[in-house]
Amino acid sequence: MAHIFSFVNQKGGVGKTTSSVNVAVSLAVSEVKTLLIDLDPQANATTGISNLTEESNSTIYDVLIRGVNFKDAVTKTQFDHLDLVSSTNDLVGAEIELVSMMAREYQLKKMLESVRDEYQYIIIDCPPSLGLLTINALAASDSIIIPIQSEYYALEGLGQLLNTIRLVQKHINPNLSISGVLLTMFDSRLNLSKEVASELRSYFEDKLFETVIHRNVRLGEAPSFGKPALLYDANSTGARNYMSLVEEILERVK
Ligand SMILES: Nc1ncnc2c1ncn2[C@@H]1O[C@H](COP(=O)(O)OP(=O)(O)O)[C@@H](O)[C@H]1O
Ligand SMILES: [Mg+2]
């Protein structure tokens, strides 16, 4: 049965999508059967690997709101071990439409049951908010990874995020754990990056992944070609960082 994990942080631009896509692809090339779910109406994960996929008939919106069978929304990719459930801008409406549904927090969890046995890992790329879509991801997940950008306001908003996680653990999903905190866009030339790293290390201790994702232009460029870093430039620092992160994830999350 798949281990389901979400990349969560209500801040935008911290590396959730980049991490979701590149971790999913790195798992797949390691021959670990993986499903990537794009749960963000901005659909950046979907477009970020559009070069590897055919266009899908159904999206995560159809699954959550129209009750379309999960399997009918799964798109194959050019990797044998990677499938995608894509998103579109329609998903903006889901945030509101879910409100009036029964068991609205559990919709994704319920729909995922039918495919859970087919994968080793299911990765959910969350939107930059703590609304119902993210709550659905947290309800469906076994664990979460929190990407944090190495910048001056890195820790701002973290209290609210950790509080939301505690509330979800208490009321919705007692099994939810934090499998790790990931430092992204690290620049070794900047003292600020080092300061953020040591602050996170003292706060999260072992929860902080040893692997740090460096600021790397290739990671920024790859999505505009619809490719993950591993296909765009396999030797780039970004591609290597995500391969090493996946080794750590496979150790931590079994
Ligand atoms: N390590 C990195 N180095 C350089 N650019 C990055 C890196 N990680 C992400 N980016 C770029 O920063 C922007 C925000 O990243 P993204 O993964 O989309 O964040 P989020 O999903 O949290 O909003 C994107 O344009 C992405 O390509
Ligand atoms: Mg994103």
Position 94, amino acid: A
CATH number for the domain harbouring residue 160? 3.40.50.300
State the pLDDT at residue 49. 96
State the pLDDT at residue 31. 97
Mean of the per-residue pLDDT values of the chain: 96
CA–CA separation, 94 and 18 (whole Å)? 23
Residue 108: burial class (beta carbons within 10 Å; 0-12, 13-18, 19+): buried
For 14, 96, 107, 131, 212, the CA distances from 99, given in Å and listed in that order, are: 27, 5, 11, 10, 38
- Taking the model in full, what pTM does it have? 0.97
CB 222 less than 6 A from any atom of ligand 1:
no
Domain region containing 53: 3-252
Position 137, amino acid: A
CB 16 less than 6 A from any atom of ligand 1:
yes
CA–CA separation, 128 and 133 (whole Å)? 10
Tokens representing 158?
A: 């973290």
Q: How far is the CA of 48 from the centre of ligand 2 (A)?
A: 10
State the pLDDT at residue 152. 83
How much of the chain, in percent, has pLDDT values that exceed 90?
94
The residue whose C-alpha atom lies closest to atom 10 belonging to ligand 1 is 220
| Ligand 1 atom at minimum distance from 220 CA | 27
Q: How many domains does the chain have?
A: 1
State the pLDDT at residue 242. 98
Average confidence (pLDDT) over 230-252 = 97
State the pLDDT at residue 83. 98
Distant-in-sequence, close-in-space partners of 29: CB < 8 Å, separation ≥ 6: 79, 81, 230
Mean pLDDT check: name the lowest of 31-35, 37-41, 89-93, 250-254. Answer: 250-254
* pLDDT tens-place string over residues 119-150: 999 999 999 999 999 999 999 999 999 999 99
State the pLDDT at residue 130. 96
